[in-house]
């Protein structure tokens, strides 16, 4: 009889909410295909247990001063930057992304800590509000934590889309239970170990593991608010489940983002921007550009410059700083990207750059690809590819470009490249997307932590970042204090006369126009 292979458990496996006899799942490295570790899988009982423990820990955490919560997050910020190479290695190992793309996640976490560390005290403080009758009614509004926040995070940005959402939840006085993708669970566990090292009490940040369709619904069933990032189809199911429980949810979902290159754009600068906008993180980025609408006046020069740059991109084959783009996350995702390109070519599209899988570089490597001649008969025209593929479309006016950019059920992000910033901003206001970047692809809006980041239409519900990204995880409580006279008849007046007094008082308030 052949002996069962010995399990390879990563040291961070101790961070997972899974029992010692849990089933495991092998995890392989996208860059090489080598076995990375065996992931212990949480059971439904594990989910209930860890949420119950989080709920218990949250009660005392909610009574902790905001200043003390902020101190812990500041220490965590320092640890993340000091030990960033650990996270960079984990990110590359689990996702196959290039190291510069992995660094973006580290910097994102640091920026989130900085922003909410500065804002939490002001946003979460009790505030006075005008009462029904000034002087007679005093009102204060208290933002109270919702309790336990469930964060269901995807594989493409496993650090940013887990801990960067946990930071505001924790600062608001909540506990956070993270359900990362099975491929990218270690980096979420790494963040948890650093949070505890920074002084976060036990039980407030927990990681449950397992396949999304099995463990994800269990998390939604137990928590008090859900932050979900992923596909539109799954987002709908999460929203329906939250609605049945009457709990809040924030959803960032799919996109088919458009870039508009205006007639006045500098073709060389535009090509530089487009490369980053389309191929950062190998296109496995929900806010990257997949559709490029290029004005006829600059089309030929822009396309020549863009294609030359895309053809020159190198694919990372190992952990380290070599390589412009990474590989894809899984064989299934590689097949999806390949199918989109092959279908387009079969239907008449032309490949201007890339277009092939590169098993000679790595098992999941696919060349950054630029397509021309794409039309509605091709899947790549409207379906989100979520890979290193961009399609070019020639347009003849700004109005045409805007109409085509808006011709989608999605509405996550968009980009406008122009030398006329005023015209660019005016065009941006006509686009039906949650964010628009003028002369950038995505980093300008995403990195502006004080502004909301979210989608419209089939791209999501609610937003992260900004003050709302903190208030998402609170419930406002209104405390109204009645002074002196009440609303019922007073001063010995009958109902009719007292009604006249109330009407006169309200009328006087209206004349003040305040």
Write down the number of H helices and E strands in the chain: 17, 18
Q: How far is CA 73 from the centre of its chain?
A: 20
Whether 252 is catalytic: yes
Residues of the chain above pLDDT 70, percent: 98
Which residue is listed with tokens 């505001």?
Answer: 168
What pLDDT shows up at residue 511?
Answer: 77
Contact 441, 273 (CB under 8 A): yes
In a domain, 504, yes or no: no
Whether 381 is catalytic: no
239, 263: one domain:
no
CATH number of the domain residue 103 falls in = 3.40.605.10
Residue 182 DSSP symbol: G
Residue 235 CA to residue 364 CA, distance in Å, equals 27
Report whether pLDDT(514) > 60. Answer: no
294, 409: one domain:
yes
Nearest CA to 252 among 463, 457, 451? Answer: 463
In a domain, 462, yes or no: no
Nearest CA to 388 among 304, 275, 292? Answer: 275
25, 90: one domain:
yes
CATH number of the domain residue 287 falls in = 3.40.309.10
263, 187: one domain:
no
Residue 338 CA to residue 95 CA, distance in Å, equals 19
Report whether pLDDT(1) > 50. Answer: no
Count CB atoms within 10 A of the CB of residue 80. Answer: 24
In a domain, 490, yes or no: no
Relative to beta strand 248-252, strand 369-372 is unpaired
Catalytic position from the list 113, 249, 278, 286: 286
Count CB atoms within 10 A of the CB of residue 490. Answer: 12
In a domain, 315, yes or no: yes
Nearest CA to 393 among 363, 410, 370? Answer: 370
113, 125: one domain:
yes
- At 118, list the tokens: 């500065």
Nearest CA to 371 among 391, 345, 347, 343? Answer: 391
Cα atoms found within 13 Å of the Cα of residue 92, Cβ hemisphere only? 24
75, 60: one domain:
yes
DSSP 284-327: --TTSEEEEEEEHHHHHHHHHHHHHHHHT--B--SSSS--SB--
Stretch 230-238: mean pLDDT, rounded? 97
- Residue 264, burial from CB neighbour count under 10 angstroms (0-12, 13-18, 19+): middle
Stretch 268-273: mean pLDDT, rounded? 98
What pLDDT shows up at residue 499?
Answer: 83
155, 275: one domain:
no
Catalytic position from the list 252, 290, 367, 372: 252
295: β partners: 395
Relative to beta strand 127-129, strand 137-145 is antiparallel
372: β partners: 350, 392
Report whether pLDDT(503) > 90. Answer: no
Report whether pLDDT(93) > 90. Answer: yes
Residue 509 CA to residue 501 CA, distance in Å, equals 12
142, 57: one domain:
yes
DSSP 150-161: EEE--SSSTTHH
- List strand residue ranges (DSSP E) for 204-275, in order: 205-207, 225-229, 248-252, 257-261
Residue 132 DSSP symbol: S
Stretch 123-130: mean pLDDT, rounded? 92
Stretch 96-119: mean pLDDT, rounded? 98
Question: 117 by DSSP, 3-state: which?
Answer: helix
Question: 65 by DSSP, 3-state: which?
Answer: coil
33, 149: one domain:
yes
Contact 338, 306 (CB under 8 A): no
Report whether pLDDT(87) > 60. Answer: yes
Q: How many domains would you assign to the chain? A: 2
Stretch 112-132: mean pLDDT, rounded? 94
In a domain, 270, yes or no: yes
3-state SS record for 209-227? CCCHHHHHHHHHHHCCEEE
**Could you tell me where the DSSP H helices lie in 63-147?**
66-82, 84-95, 99-123
Residue 164 CA to residue 409 CA, distance in Å, equals 27
Helices 212-222 and 232-245, interaxial angle, to 10°? Answer: 30
End residue of a domain, out of 449, 484, 507: 449
> What's the pLDDT band for 484 if we cut at 50, 70, 90?
confident
112, 156: one domain:
yes
Contact 91, 102 (CB under 8 A): yes
Nearest CA to 109 among 133, 91, 132, 135? Answer: 91
What pLDDT shows up at residue 513?
Answer: 59
Stretch 153-180: mean pLDDT, rounded? 98
Contact 454, 462 (CB under 8 A): yes
Residue 503 DSSP symbol: H
Contact 297, 266 (CB under 8 A): no
Report whether pLDDT(313) > 50. Answer: yes
Residue 257 CA to residue 271 CA, distance in Å, equals 17
92, 18: one domain:
yes
Contact 282, 325 (CB under 8 A): yes
In a domain, 513, yes or no: no
- At 257, list the tokens: 């983002």
Contact 164, 112 (CB under 8 A): yes
393, 410: one domain:
yes
The pTM score is: 0.95
Residue 406 DSSP symbol: T
141: β partners: 127, 478
> What's the pLDDT band for 506 if we cut at 50, 70, 90?
confident
Domain that holds residue 88: 11-253+467-474
Which residue is listed with tokens 């300008």?
Answer: 444
Q: What is the mean pLDDT of the chain?
A: 95
Report whether pLDDT(411) > 70. Answer: yes
In a domain, 286, yes or no: yes
In a domain, 285, yes or no: yes
Contact 370, 309 (CB under 8 A): no
């Amino acid at each position: 009889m052949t002996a069962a292979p010995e399990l390879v458990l990563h040291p961070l496996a101790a961070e997972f909410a899974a029992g010692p006899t849990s089933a495991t799942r092998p995890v392989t490295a996208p860059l090489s295909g080598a076995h990375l570790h065996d992931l212990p899988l949480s059971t439904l009982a594990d989910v209930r247990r860890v949420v119950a423990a989080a709920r218990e820990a949250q009660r005392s955490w909610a009574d902790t001063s905001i200043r003390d919560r902020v101190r812990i997050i500041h220490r965590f910020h320092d640890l993340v930057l000091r030990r960033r190479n650990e996270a960079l290695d984990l990110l590359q190992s689990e996702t196959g992304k290039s190291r510069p793309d992995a660094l973006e996640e580290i910097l994102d976490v640091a920026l989130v800590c900085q922003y909410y560390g500065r804002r939490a005290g002001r946003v979460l403080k009790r505030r006075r509000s005008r009462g029904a009758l000034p002087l007679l009614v005093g009102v204060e509004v208290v933002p109270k934590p919702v309790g336990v926040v469930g964060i269901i995070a995807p594989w493409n940005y496993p650090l940013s889309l887990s801990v960067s959402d946990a930071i505001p939840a924790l600062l608001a006085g909540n506990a956070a239970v993270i359900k990362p993708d099975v491929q990218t669970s270690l980096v979420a566990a790494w963040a948890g170990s650093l949070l505890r090292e920074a002084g976060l009490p036990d039980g407030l940040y927990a990681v449950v593991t397992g396949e999304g369709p099995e463990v994800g619904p269990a998390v939604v069933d137990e928590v008090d608010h859900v932050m979900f990032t992923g596909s539109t189809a799954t987002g709908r199911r999460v929203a329906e489940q939250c609605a049945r429980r009457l709990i809040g949810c924030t959803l960032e979902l799919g996109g088919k983002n458009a870039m508009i290159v205006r007639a006045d754009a500098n073709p060389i600068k535009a090509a530089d921007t487009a490369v980053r906008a389309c191929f950062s993180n190998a296109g496995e980025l929900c806010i990257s550009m997949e559709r490029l609408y290029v004005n006829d006046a600059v089309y030929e020069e822009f396309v020549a410059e863009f294609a030359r740059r895309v053809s020159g991109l190198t694919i990372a084959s190992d952990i380290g700083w070599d390589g412009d783009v990474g590989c894809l996350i899984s064989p299934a995702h590689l097949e999806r990207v390949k199918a989109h390109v092959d279908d387009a070519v079969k239907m008449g599209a032309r490949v201007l750059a890339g277009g092939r899988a590169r098993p000679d570089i790595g098992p999941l490597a696919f060349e950054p690809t630029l397509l021309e001649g794409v039309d509605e008969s091709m899947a790549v025209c409207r379906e989100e590819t979520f890979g290193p593929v961009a399609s070019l479309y020639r347009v003849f006016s700004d109005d045409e470009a805007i109409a085509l950019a808006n011709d989608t059920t999605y509405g996550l992000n968009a980009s406008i490249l122009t030398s006329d910033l005023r015209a660019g901003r005016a065009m941006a206001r006509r686009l039906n997307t949650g964010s628009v970047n003028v002369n950038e692809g995505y980093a300008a809006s995403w990195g502006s932590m004080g502004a909301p980041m979210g989608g419209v239409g089939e791209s999501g519900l609610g937003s992260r970042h900004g003050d709302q990204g903190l208030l998402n995880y609170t419930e406002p409580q209104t405390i109204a204090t009645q002074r002196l006279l009440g609303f019922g008849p007073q001063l010995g007046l009958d109902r009719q006369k007292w009604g006249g007094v109330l009407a006169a008082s309200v009328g006087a308030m209206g004349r003040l126009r305040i």
